[in-house]
């Protein structure tokens, strides 16, 4: 039963993602410590879900629309805070970063994402 449920959830995954970390390394020639992007996970099946939320502030009468992006991925995947998550789904590729603590479930986890704005 457990495998059937997970298989059903993962059958909805239409995307793949690559997880990239910004890691420090010591240059053997110059002995200087620098940083570089290191891909730590490749072509991991996943799914993006999009939700639009509209709101109006108290002092203005102009409505705003905000998009919430949620990543669905296997529960055993560990994504460090600050990682870049590159997702390709429906022929589109976007870079995101994790904006919240993952919600873990038995068969998957859900992570709220925001557009990647650069390494902090």
* pTM for the model: 0.83
52/65 Cα distance (integer angstroms): 6
**What does the pLDDT look like over 56-76, one tens digit per residue?**
666 666 777 788 999 999 999
What integer pLDDT is reported at residue 58 of this predicted model? 62
Q: Taking residues 9-30, report their average pLDDT.
A: 93
Q: At 1, is the pLDDT very low, low, confident or very high (cuts 50, 70, 90)?
A: low
CB 96 within 8 Å of CB 115? yes
Collapsing DSSP states into helix, strand and coil, what is residue 99? coil
1/107 Cα distance (integer angstroms): 11
CB 54 within 8 Å of CB 47? no
Q: Is the pLDDT of residue 31 over 70?
A: yes
How does the average pLDDT of the chain come out, rounded? 90
């Amino acid at each position: 039963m457990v495998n059937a449920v997970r298989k059903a959830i993962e059958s909805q995954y239409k995307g793949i993602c690559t997880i990239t970390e910004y890691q420090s390394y010591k240059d053997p020639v110059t002995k200087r410590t620098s940083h570089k992007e290191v891909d730590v996970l490749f072509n991991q099946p996943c799914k993006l879900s999009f939700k639009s939320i509209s709101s109006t502030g108290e002092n203005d009468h102009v409505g705003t629309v905000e998009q919430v992006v949620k990543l669905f991925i296997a529960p055993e995947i560990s994504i460090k805070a600050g990682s870049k998550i590159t997702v390709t789904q429906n022929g589109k590729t976007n870079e995101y970063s994790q904006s919240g603590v993952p919600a873990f479930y038995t068969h998957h986890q859900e992570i709220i994402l925001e557009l990647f704005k650069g390494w902090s």
